[in-house]
Amino acid sequence: MKKSLVFLMMCIMTTGCGAKAEKTAHTPVGKIPCTIYTEVKRSLAPMEKDKCMSGAYISEDIPYNEIDDFEKKIQAENDIYVYFIEKGEDFPMSFAVNCYAKNKIPMLVLGPESSYEQIMSIALACGSLNLPMFIEMDYNNEIEMFDSHSALFRGYAPKAVLVYGFDCRRESRRLPKEKSFDWIAVNACEEMSNGTVDTEYGNISKWCGIYKDKTLMVNISVPVFTDDKCNYAIDEACNEIENIYSLADSRSNIGAVNYISISRSEGGIRKYSSRLSENDSIMNAYGKAVRSVPDKRYYSSTTYIGYVIGERVLVDDNTALMLGAECADTEYSNVKALVNYSLDREGKKIYLR
């Protein structure tokens, strides 16, 4: 009995009963490295969402030119559908109503041939609906004309979200009056030369950087066929669609990406096609691209890595310090646990709030 008591006292003295356990210097095994994204603080444009929106012009994509048939085919859902208004054409009421009925945002595109009288009529019709929609005006850098027509929408259709559109290959950085527009549209109708796609990725990215404090919309057409060598470029077009849509992940000021599915002919001879319905592979690539647009915006990637282990996200002391992250202590001497974050396990991304 005496021996047992002595042994128990020695155990208590050795373990230090109430003493703090020393932290190990080793980090845990089985950890999954993930890229850390930090939040971008910015004011929102009208109709801007926390996710990047996607849209399309599909009027030429027979037999998939109806919203339900199109989305069933691509196995993805768009937020926006586009309509190009021709010179002298009235407001497309049936198109707008169909979009609203299917919980989509209509977007009307007007060209430089639009007259003041036509714009007045469209603004009045738009205002009569009293519902939000995008109105893009592509006026070939005619700034004064844009400002004048914009004033009509501001007066008669205050819920219209006005978009200043321009070709991504332009040089001028001049913008309309600040009060005249809400979004900027960078239009990239890509071409082919020597049988390959001339990508506009660099030009689009350039304008995203120049207008980093504005909300941008990217409108893209990728050639599937051109009369240049009478060439089909199915695989290349699929890769280019994926490449362009990846910009929505790396540029947090891209609020929407719209695919413009069109064809051009001259004298009955087909010259160009970016139509999605040209090939099932193109439709599948587009659907995949739509599903890839980020549902979390206003985050930019960093060079820092966090590690997921179980239900925790761990970072080393230096990373925690450099990011100014809110952290909790761990059982490891050189590691902290993030407190305020969300995790995309599949994409291996940590969104630090």
> What tens digit of pLDDT does each residue of 108-121 get?
999 999 999 999 99
The reply to whether 318 and 212 lie within a common domain is no
42 — pLDDT class (breaks 50, 70, 90): confident
> Is 146 inside a domain boundary?
yes
Domain count, the chain: 2
The reply to whether 224 and 313 lie within a common domain is no
> Is 5 inside a domain boundary?
no
Residue 246 has pLDDT above 90, yes or no: yes
The reply to whether 162 and 61 lie within a common domain is yes
pLDDT of residue 14: 46
> Is 323 inside a domain boundary?
yes
pLDDT of residue 25: 56
- Rounded to an integer, the average pLDDT of 25-38 is 79
The reply to whether 234 and 187 lie within a common domain is yes
The reply to whether 243 and 317 lie within a common domain is no
CATH of the domain at 96: 3.20.20.80
**CB-based contacts of 222: which residues, under 8 Å, 6+ apart?**
190, 197, 237, 240, 241, 244, 259, 274
How far, rounded to the nearest angstrom, does the alpha carbon of residue 84 sit from its chain's CA centroid?
22
- Rounded to an integer, the average pLDDT of 54-83 is 97
- Rounded to an integer, the average pLDDT of 20-27 is 58
pTM score, whole prediction:
0.81
Percentage, residues of the chain above pLDDT 70: 92
> Is 46 inside a domain boundary?
no
Give the 3-state secondary structure of 136-193: EEECCCCHHHHHHHHHHHHHHCCCEEEEEEEECCCCCCCCCCHHHCCEEEEEEECEEE
Residue 241 has pLDDT above 50, yes or no: yes
> Is 202 inside a domain boundary?
yes
The mean-pLDDT minimum among 53-62, 228-237, 324-333 falls in: 228-237
- Rounded to an integer, the average pLDDT of 128-140 is 96
Look over the chain and give the mean of its residue pLDDT values, rounded to a whole number: 90
The reply to whether 210 and 307 lie within a common domain is no
The reply to whether 278 and 326 lie within a common domain is no
Q: Is 41 exposed, middle or buried (0-12, 13-18, 19+ CB in 10 A)?
A: exposed
pLDDT of residue 116: 96
Residue that finishes a domain, picked among 247, 264, 292: 292
The reply to whether 319 and 225 lie within a common domain is no
> Is 15 inside a domain boundary?
no
The reply to whether 330 and 285 lie within a common domain is no
The reply to whether 319 and 178 lie within a common domain is no
The reply to whether 171 and 306 lie within a common domain is no
Let me know: does 269 contact 68? Beta carbons within 8 Å.
Answer: no
Residue that finishes a domain, picked among 254, 272, 292: 292
249 — pLDDT class (breaks 50, 70, 90): confident
Residue 294 has pLDDT above 90, yes or no: no
2 — pLDDT class (breaks 50, 70, 90): very low
Residue 28 has pLDDT above 70, yes or no: no
- 155-194: per-residue pLDDT in tens? 999 999 999 999 999 988 999 999 999 999 999 999 998 8
> Is 107 inside a domain boundary?
yes
The reply to whether 78 and 37 lie within a common domain is no
> Is 285 inside a domain boundary?
yes
Residue that finishes a domain, picked among 266, 292, 318: 292
Question: Domain range for residue 341?
Answer: 21-41+298-352
